[in-house]
C-alpha cells in the first residue's frame, strides 16, 4: 500500500502501469493492488493485461482490483476485452461487470452460461441476476437444473429471486428442492419464499422431510411468509424437533400464518427449555391475539 503515497492519481497511474510490466512478479502484483480504485482507461487497461499474467498471484491481485470498479461507464472497456478472454480472465471480467449493471452485458453473459468453466458460468449468472432482465429467466432456470457444478446451481437458484409470475421458474425451483446438494435445496427453499407464489406451498411442505434441518428451517421461514395454513400439521409437529433453531423458526411461522389452531401447540411450547423458542411463542401468541399475560 505504500506505493500509494507517492502522489496524486494522475501522476500515479502511468508509474503503476509501467510497474505492471516489471520483470519481477512481486512488483507486478503490488502494482495490481495499487491500481485498485483508480478509475481511468489506462489503469483498467493495465489491470486487464495482468489478468493473463503467468503468475497466479498477479492474476488474482488484478482480478480483485478490477472488481472494485464503480463507474458504469468503464463497462464498455471490460466488455471489449471479454470476447477475447478465456477462463480466469473471463470470470474476473464478468465479476467486475456485475455491480455495474450495464444492459450491454446481457448478451455476453447469456452466452457465457454455456462456458465450460464453472467459474465463468457462476460469474455470468451473477451478471444476469443483478440485471434482473426477465428474458434471462428461462436460461437461468435451465442451468439451475442441468449444471453439473453444485455451487453454480446454488448461485443460479438464488439469482432466480427476481422472477415474478414466471411458472417455469417455479418449476425449476421446486426441482431444486430435491437437488443432491443440501445447499442448493436450502437456497431453493429461501428463493421460493421470496417469490411469494402459493404454488410453492405443497413442495415446501414436502421439503419439511428433508434430512437437513437447515433446509427445513428455510422451508419453515418461507411457509410463514406465504401464510401457508396448509402447513399447519407439519409445522406443529416440528415444534418438538431436537434442534432449537428449527423450533424457534416454527414458532415465528405459526405467528405469521395466523391460524388459531396453532394456539394450544404454542402454549405448550411456552415451557420449551430454550428461551428464544419461548420468546417467539409469546410473540406468535400475541400476533394471534391469544397471549395470556
Partner 1 sequence: MPLTMNRVSVPVTVDAEKCIAGKGCTVCVESCPLDLLAIDKEKGTAYMRFDECWYCLPCEKDCPTGAIHVDIPYLLR
Partner 2 sequence: MNGLDMEVDVLVIGGGTAGPMAAVKAKEKNPALRVMLLEKANVKRSGAISMGMDGLNNAVIPGHATPEQYVKEITVANDGIVNQKTVLAYAQQSFSMIEELDRWGVKFEKDETGDYAVKKVHHMGTYVLPMPEGHHMKKVLYRQLKKWRVDITNRYMATRLLLDRNGAIAGAMVLDSRTGEFSVIRSKAVILCTGAAGRLGLPASGYLFGTYENPTNAGDGYSMAYHAGAELSGIECFQINPLIKDYNGPSCAYVTGPFGGYTANAKGERFIECDYWSGQMMLEFYRELEGGNGPVFLKMNHLAEETISTIEHILHTNERPSRGRFHEGRGSNYRDAMVEMHISEIGLCSGHSASGVWVNERAETTVPGLYAAGDLACVPHNYMLGAFVYGRLAGESAAEYCAVRALAAVESDQVERERARVLGPLAHRDGLPPSQVEYKLRRMVNDYLQPPKVTRKMEIGLQRFAEVAEDLTRMSATNPHELMRAMEVHAILDCAEMAARASLYRTESRWGLYHYRADHPEKNDKDWFVHVQVKKGDGGDMSCFKRPIDPYVVPLDEEEKAAYDHLRITKQAAVA
Decide which of partner 2, partner 1, none touches 94; Cβ closer than 5 to 8 Å per partner kind.
none
In contact, 289 and 260? CB cutoff 8 Å: no
Q: Is 1 in the site for partner 1 (CB under 8 A)?
A: yes
Residues in contact with partner 2 by the rule CB under 8 A: 1, 4, 8-9, 36-37, 68, 70, 98-99, 101, 125-126, 129-130, 132, 155-156, 158-159, 161-162, 182-183, 212, 214, 217, 243-245, 252, 270-276, 278-280, 282-283, 286, 291, 293
The full DSSP string for 55-102 is SHHHHHHHHHHHTT---GGGHHHHHHHHTT--THHHHHHHHHHHTT--
Task: Mention every residue, 6+ apart, whose C-beta is less than 8 A from residue 1.
Answer: 33, 34
CB of residue 228 vs partner 2: minimum separation in angstroms? 19
CB of residue 58 vs partner 1: minimum separation in angstroms? 14
Decide which of partner 2, partner 1, none touches 212; Cβ closer than 5 to 8 Å per partner kind.
partner 2
Out of 11, 18, 21, 26, which residue is the one contacting partner 1 (CB under 8 A)? 26
Of residues 26 and 164, the one with the C-beta less far from partner 1: 26
Radius of gyration, alpha carbons of the chain: 25
CA distances from 291 to 235, 255, 267 (A): 20, 11, 9
Q: Is 23 in the site for partner 1 (CB under 8 A)?
A: no
Q: How many residues bind partner 1 (CB under 8 A)?
A: 4
Q: Is 57 in the site for partner 1 (CB under 8 A)?
A: no
d(CA 44, CA 33): 12
d(CA 192, CA 200): 7
Region of 80 (left: φ > 0; alpha: ψ -120 to 50; beta: rest) is alpha
In contact, 118 and 151? CB cutoff 8 Å: yes
Q: Is 286 in the site for partner 1 (CB under 8 A)?
A: no
CB of residue 36 vs partner 1: minimum separation in angstroms? 15
Decide which of partner 2, partner 1, none touches 182; Cβ closer than 5 to 8 Å per partner kind.
partner 2
Of residues 8 and 24, the one with the C-beta less far from partner 2: 8
d(CA 125, CA 58): 25
Out of 16, 28, 30, 120, which residue is the one contacting partner 1 (CB under 8 A)? 30
Helix (H, G, I), strand (E, B), or coil: what is residue 11? helix
Amino acid at each position: 500500500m505504500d506505493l500509494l503515497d507517492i502522489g496524486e492519481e494522475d501522476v500515479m497511474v502511468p508509474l503503476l502501469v509501467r510497474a505492471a510490466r516489471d520483470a519481477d512478479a512481486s512488483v507486478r502484483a503490488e502494482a495490481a493492488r495499487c491500481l485498485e480504485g483508480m478509475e481511468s482507461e489506462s489503469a483498467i487497461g493495465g489491470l486487464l493485461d495482468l489478468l493473463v499474467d503467468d503468475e497466479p498471484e498477479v492474476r488474482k491481485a488484478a482480478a480483485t482490483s478490477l472488481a472494485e470498479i464503480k463507474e458504469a461507464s468503464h463497462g464498455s472497456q471490460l466488455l471489449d476485452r471479454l470476447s477475447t478472454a478465456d477462463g480466469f480472465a473471463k470470470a474476473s471480467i464478468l465479476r467486475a461487470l456485475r455491480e455495474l449493471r450495464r444492459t450491454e452485458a446481457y448478451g455476453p453473459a447469456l452466452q457465457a452460461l454455456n462456458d465450460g468453466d464453472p467459474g465463468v458460468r457462476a460469474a455470468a449468472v451473477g451478471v444476469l441476476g443483478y440485471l434482473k432482465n426477465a428474458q434471462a429467466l428461462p436460461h437461468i432456470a435451465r442451468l439451475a437444473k442441468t449444471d453439473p457444478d453444485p455451487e453454480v446451481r446454488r448461485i443460479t437458484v438464488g439469482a432466480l429471486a427476481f422472477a415474478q409470475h414466471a411458472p417455469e421458474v417455479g418449476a425449476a425451483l421446486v426441482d431444486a428442492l430435491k437437488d443432491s446438494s443440501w445447499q442448493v435445496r436450502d437456497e431453493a427453499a429461501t428463493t421460493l419464499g421470496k417469490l411469494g407464489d402459493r404454488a410453492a406451498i405443497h413442495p415446501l411442505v414436502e421439503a419439511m422431510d428433508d434430512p437437513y434441518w437447515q433446509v427445513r428451517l428455510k422451508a419453515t421461514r418461507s411457509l410463514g411468509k406465504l401464510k401457508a395454513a396448509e402447513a399447519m400439521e407439519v409445522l406443529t409437529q416440528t415444534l418438538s424437533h431436537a434442534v432449537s433453531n428449527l423450533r424457534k423458526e416454527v414458532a415465528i411461522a405459526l405467528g405469521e400464518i395466523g391460524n388459531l389452531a396453532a394456539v394450544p401447540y404454542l402454549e405448550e411450547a411456552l415451557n420449551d427449555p430454550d428461551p428464544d423458542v419461548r420468546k417467539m411463542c409469546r410473540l406468535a401468541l400475541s400476533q394471534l391475539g391469544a397471549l395470556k399475560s
